[in-house]
Amino acid sequence: MTRWAACIEYQGSNYYGWQTQEIEGKSVQPWVERALSKIADRPIEVVCAGRTDTGVHATVQVVHFDTDVERPARAWALGGNTHLPDDISFIWAVPVADDFSARFSARWRRYHYVFQNSTTRPAIASQHLTHVHNRLDLSAMARAARVLEGVHDFTSLRSSACQAPNPVRDMHFVRLYQLGSLIVIDVQANAFLHHMVRNIAGSLLAVGKGDRTVEWLGDVLQAKDRALAGVTAAANGLHLVGVGYEPSVVLPETLRFPPLSVGIVRPENRVWPAF
């Protein structure tokens, strides 16, 4: 048996998330497994780095699978793409060590949440961002976000239906970028809880609008009560853009930016640095 890792990009607008659902064809995982199975001419099952929810996008979703079928990397990626719809695509496939796990070997995940802050709603890329017409105070949002960095109990910022046994996560950074009307919340942590990024985005949005103070988010975090945090931001603004592994795990590319922000979101364009 050979273990393979593969990277998949998808637009989540038409799917009920990553994980296989009872409704055939309505999630991303069965499409990926079906495509690989056609190349292998036998069933293939995959394990992913992070399950995304309904409507959430990914430019980097890392998976692994095992097979005793010999195929070149080109066959899994390019061949696999011939069996996928236009909004799902293999980026690469490479053989990896037998003990590699797309999920358990991952040391961090990175997401972008994208807002367009403008008076009128966008027509282009509307499925990839969330429109906010209120003028936002980005400085206040950046100062509020600072309290989220580090190791915390994120009970207040996870879904009430989240089944993770441990709500503690290590938030590596929360950054805000801006170019024109586009605002990106850039977050990286060892792992995320259900709806955690969307709840962070919704809470920072409340601060940016002036509905809540900068200090409020720290109080919410300490309270460990989901009812006190902001609303859950819409799924269409969320993108999984990176998965990180130990340096000993050599993969072609595990950090990519969503198409919306290519050439736009760069450190030198960051208006509000981490204070």
Catalytic residues: 53
**Burial call 23-59: b when 16+ CB within 10 Å, e when fewer:** eeeebbbbbbbbbbbebbeeebebebbbbbbbbbbbb
Cα–Cα dist 168/224, whole Å: 11
Contacts of 91 (CB under 8 A, 6+ apart): 6, 7, 8, 9, 60, 77, 252, 253, 256
Q: Which of these, 196, 199, 52, 176, lies nearest to 117 by C-alpha position?
A: 176
Tokens of residue 75, six digits:
């066959």
How are beta strands 150-153 and 168-179 bridged, if at all?
antiparallel
Is 111 annotated among the ligand-binding residues?
A: yes
User: Residue 12, exposed/middle/buried by CB under 10 A (0-12, 13-18, 19+)?
Assistant: buried
Distances (CA, A) of 14 to 11, 124, 221, 257: 7, 17, 33, 20
User: What's the CA gap between 31 and 195, in Å, rounded?
Assistant: 24
For residue 159 the two structure tokens come to: 């879904």
User: Which residue ranges make up the annotated binding site?
Assistant: 111
User: Which residue ranges make up the annotated binding site for substrate?
Assistant: 111
